[in-house]
């Protein structure tokens, strides 16, 4: 039996649901309860293995306090060429990172730093650590 591959749009929308849910500090179980779903169904939505209907996406948007369009920001366009400097392949790693718990934790903590100078020092530190780790690999 051939395994069905999720549609790239469904995967993108699901990853945006996951990112927003994690940024809001809401568990899959809590979101599922609010929507009348199991946490497993929320997992399937987030992985893109199950499509989210328009009405369900509207409910999720309301629960997560974002417009429905939020879930489509940066979505792949398929065969339609994009204009300008847009390169979804080059920015996919960013959205992938933001859907991890580490990405959410780092983003939340970083945005709490008020000093621009201190934020720059954190960036310099992370870049230096990444360079050092890259040399060891």
Per-residue pLDDT tens, the chain, 137 aa: give them: 677 788 889 999 999 999 999 889 899 999 999 999 999 999 999 999 999 999 999 999 999 999 999 999 888 876 544 445 555 555 566 777 877 888 888 888 898 999 999 999 999 999 999 888 877 76
Determine if the pTM surpasses 0.95: no
Fold classification of 8-73+91-136 is 434 Repressor (Amino-terminal Domain) (1.10.260)
- Give counts: helices (H), strands (E), the chain: 7, 0
Which residues, 6 or more positions from 119, have their beta carbon under 8 angstroms from its beta carbon? 110, 113
């Amino acid at each position: 039996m051939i395994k069905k591959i999720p549609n790239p749009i469904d995967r993108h929308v699901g990853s945006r649901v996951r990112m927003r849910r994690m940024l809001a500090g809401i568990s899959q179980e809590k979101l599922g309860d609010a929507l009348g779903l199991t946490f497993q169904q929320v997992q399937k939505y987030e992985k893109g293995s199950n499509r989210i209907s328009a009405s369900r996406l509207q409910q999720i948007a309301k629960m997560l306090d974002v417009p429905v369009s939020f879930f489509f920001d940066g979505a792949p366009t398929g065969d339609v060429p994009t204009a300008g400097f847009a390169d979804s392949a080059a920015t996919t790693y960013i959205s992938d990172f933001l859907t991890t718990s580490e990405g959410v934790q780092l983003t939340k903590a970083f945005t709490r730093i008020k000093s621009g100078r201190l934020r720059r020092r954190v960036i310099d530190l992370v870049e230096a650590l990444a360079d050092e780790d890259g040399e060891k690999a």
